[in-house]
A and B are shown apart, each in its own frame.
Chain A
Amino acid sequence: MRNIWTICRRELYAYFVSPIAWVLLTIFAFLSGVFTYIISASFVRYSLEGQMSGQSMPMNVNEQVIAPLFSNIAVVGLFLIPLISMRLFAEEKRQGTIELLVTSPVHDLEIILGKWLASVLMYCALLAVLAADYSFLFLYGNPDWKPVATGFLGIVLQGACLLAFGAFISTLTRNQIVAGAIGFALALVLWILNWTTSFGNSVAVQVLNYLSIVSHMDSFSKGVIDTKDLVYYVSMIFLGLFLTARSLESMRWRA
């Protein structure tokens, strides 16, 4: 446990002393701010129109602002996550510091968990900006907090899952750019898999839809924690970390 934290702490340190963390935070703050503004502005206009025409329309901040906002942010995450995970192992290999980690009395699993945990915390730091955006909704309205909490849970799980795969990809190369590009391609593929639903409803389409990473976000952003989605994310995290462990081990045999 102590080793995991040691490695995690150093990794977080590396994120925040390098420009990476600050660049990502800036990009994320800008995008989430824009999305929050657009969606809540259209919500306000819609409610004004309702009052002007004298009709009472069903208005719900959770359904009309927060849920779509989560879906948008989930997609933004797909683009930013490879930038968080690409350096995890590639940079260690390039610098030669992997020799220090691997020859220290630390288990491979502790290295992997420490690094992955750091990347998840880094992603959470980005989401903290989103939470700040949401605080305005709580300030001027009274949305239900529970769907917000599950939405955050879903988005963190989705990120954790992609970060696990990103860590795996990062072990395959010593070049951060390559790791980032492959991670980005994988995120994109996992995202567009559910577009296949437009091709009917055969078993293959259902499988592909299940594998698609964003389709599992929907129930979370509506305030529902579905076991099916939870199992999906947790098993994908396991798979990603398992592949990372195997890759790290094989790297030694090949080295």
Chain B
Amino acid sequence: MIQVEGLSKRYAHHVAVNDISFSVEKGDIVGFLGPNGAGKTTTMRILTCFMPPTSGKATVAGFDVFEQSFEVKKHIGYLPEAPPLYPEMNVQDYLSFVARLKNMPGSEIKSRTEQVMERCAVADVKDKLISKLSKGYRQRVGLAQAIIHNPDVLILDEPTSGLDPKQINETRELIKSLSGEHTIILSTHILPEVEAVCQKVIIIDKGKLVATDSVENLKARGSVSSAIQVQVDASGVADALAVRQRLEQVPGVSKVLEKVVADNRFIYEVESLQGQNPRPDVARAIVNAGWNLLELKSTTLTLEDIFLELTGSHGEAPAAVIQEAPPPQDAIAGGAQ
């Protein structure tokens, strides 16, 4: 449905998008992931024919975005980062205007507008001025605007930004429900969103493509070098070092780190050799030593770890939890072209 080959966009002083290639199949929901300023919006603007690329080629629904932009525009629905709304119009008038702009036959406009308002849950505010709507409603009107002409391809630029958690959930559900009929590309810098909504991920950073794969594959790669977190009751233990030494003797364990040494509990991070599962042995070792095992869990890599690893932004990781996870050795080397 979407083919991008060697796409670049250069400005006078910097390169926004640098030689990106990827393709999206019909019916897919693809997450376009990257930190702010990675070139997500620029790529989307090129795909929607808002601006031409400096070099490279992109086709949407079989039409070239530069040479056949008029055809491309008929096949896409686009929700820019800021929903393109006219504050002085009411919701219904606005959507009928967009429908007419997208060349819908006049006889279908009214019923289609009603349908889309129902679908995007904005029917209850259809007579309200857009300037009076809350951010969540505006975002949904923006989404309604993008799907009104039933386009083959939907391009959504940060569809959940600025929404509260409940609205985020509703929007995600809505997007998921649109898959199948539409091919969807949505950009985001929020990882759980990709995990929740998308089947495929395209990760870009500083204008360059770092990875493109399915969500499962990316996560599977991460779990290869899984680690175990062990929590032991501190009462009855001589000192933290003793536990560590005991754990290091367990077959299959490669490395043990003391993560938390509190008054009442010790937490260790246990790394295992490739292909080994020392969890039963770890549990037995602790229990046999007469200590109280409080918790034993495997910490597989989340998409966040993979993302941070790929984009090399460890230093500015948003949450401390992420930094505690061990860097996945070679976890993604195979997948990042």
A residues with a Cβ closer than 8 A to B are 2-3, 6-7, 10, 13-14, 17-18, 95-107, 252-253, 255
**Chain B neighbourhood of A101, CB < 8 A:** 101
Bound Cα distance from A250 to B89, whole angstroms? 29
Query: Is A10 a contact partner of B50 (Cβ separation < 8 A)?
Result: no
Tally of A-B Cβ pairs under 8 angstroms: 72
Contact A18 B88 (CB under 8 A): yes
Interface string of B66-83 (1 = CB under 8 A from A): 000010011010101011
B97 lies within 8 A of A6 (CB):
yes
**Chain A proximity of B135: nearest CB distance (Å):** 14
Cβ–Cβ < 8 Å partners of B101 in chain A: 3, 6-7, 100-101, 104, 106
Which of A95, A107, A253 makes the CB contact (< 8 A) with B86?
A95
Q: Is the CB of B52 closer than 8 A to any CB of chain A?
A: yes
Contact in complex: B48, A103 (CB < 8 Å): yes
Known: A10-B86, A18-B88, A95-B85. A103 touches B145 (CB 8 A): no
Pick the contact of B51 from A18, A95, A255 — CB < 8 Å? A255
**Measured between C-beta atoms, what is the minimum distance from A6 to chain B in Å?**
5
Q: Give 13 new A-B contacts, CB below 8 A, not counting A103-B78, A104-B101, A255-B50.
A: A2-B100, A10-B97, A14-B86, A95-B84, A96-B80, A99-B45, A99-B48, A99-B84, A100-B80, A103-B49, A104-B102, A105-B102, A253-B52
> A92 CB to closest chain B CB, in angstroms?
9
Near A by CB (< 8 A), chain B positions 84-125 give: 84-89, 93, 97-98, 100-103
- Are A100 and B84 neighbours in the complex by a CB distance under 8 Å? yes
B292 CB to closest chain A CB (Å) equals: 59
Q: Which residues does chain B contribute within 8 Å of A7, judged by CB atoms?
A: 101
B99 to chain A: closest residue by CB: A6
B100 touches A102 (CB 8 A): no
A100 CA to B146 CA, complexed, in Å: 9
Give chain A nearest CB distance to B153 CB in angstroms.
12
**Shortest CB distance B97–A (Å):** 5
Nearest-Cβ distance from residue B42 to partner chain A, whole angstroms: 9
